[in-house]
Amino acid sequence: MSMALQLLNNPDPVYSRLSPALIESPNEEWLACMVASWCAGQGVLPDYMGLEPDQFEHLKAAYFQDVTLPEQAISGSQLDFSRMLEKEDLVNLLRRYSKPDTLEVEWIIAVIVAGCLGSDHLWQDLGLWTRSQLSAMLHYNFPELAAKNTQDMKWKKFLYKQLCEAEGLYLCRAPSCNVCIDYPKCYGSEE
């Protein structure tokens, strides 16, 4: 089996080369997972993983300097931010709740926003390997925001619900989520 085919089927070989030997922050671990998946063509992250080119260069220099990373998405994903009218609102929401003094937080925000354009669960669109990784990443970087997800709502839906509530928009068809016919789509297992 060729290396490219192995990587497409399993990002672990890339991850083992990317994973920092001395992890100083949990973000390094999650970024290594996302980079490995992105290098294997998994997830929906576009060129530069949704980062600005200079952010991508800083990310590589900080954590992945010993590995040659592509700049273009192997998946061919080219996300169209022009259709994402709420991009700035998502960035502002995440920044408002971000943990201060975290080097990687701007990278994490940019990657999450790019992942929100995908059509799958956010953890899958980001290239994380489990929903629990996404939950841990959000709790670590945006603790107050993540704490608001008291009913374990799916994260992408939760972020958009926060935007709607900030604007005073309540579009649910039922007065309570518990009686809504779409309850299983918003809550429950994503694994």
Give dist(CA 132, CA 30) in Å, integer: 11
Give dist(CA 1, CA 21) in Å, integer: 28
Give dist(CA 78, CA 139) in Å, integer: 28
Give dist(CA 166, CA 93) in Å, integer: 9
Output the pLDDT for position 3. Answer: 36
Provide the whole-model pTM.
Answer: 0.82
pLDDT category of residue 175 using cuts at 50, 70 and 90: very low
pLDDT at residue 181 is higher than 60? no
167 forms beta bridges with none
Give dist(CA 55, CA 29) in Å, integer: 18
CB atoms within 10 A of CB 15: 19
